[in-house]
Amino acid sequence: MEIFTEKQNELSVVERIAAPTPPLFAWIRNIGAVLAAVAGAVLALQEQGVQLPEIVTIIADKALLVSGVIAALVSQLTVDFSKLAEKNIFEKVSNLTKKKPYTVS
């Protein structure tokens, strides 16, 4: 368990996005993305001149869009360290962010 704590503190945002997501958080991420998409569609309809009830516009503007984006983002950044350890891809994930020297030829 100690290796997970060490790796959790060492992972960058890019490494967390590339790492496997636990099933529960993958489900939450997908629901958040759907909420954000529905809110975007409602707001796009409003921009096109479609008259919608004011309550629908308020809910889409405030609640759905913000909650959907936050749920999707937080869920994507959650890492399933047991799958990460099984695949032994700590090294592969950390190689994504290593900068290679730029050479001019």
Q: How far apart are CA 25 and CA 35, in angstroms?
A: 15
Q: Under DSSP, is residue 67 helix (H, G, I), strand (E, B) or coil?
A: helix
Q: How far apart are CA 34 and CA 56, in angstroms?
A: 16
Look up residue 86 and give its two tokens.
Answer: 């099984």
Q: What is the pLDDT of residues 5-36, one digit of tens each?
A: 566 667 777 877 777 888 888 888 888 888 88
Question: What pTM was estimated for this model as a whole?
Answer: 0.62
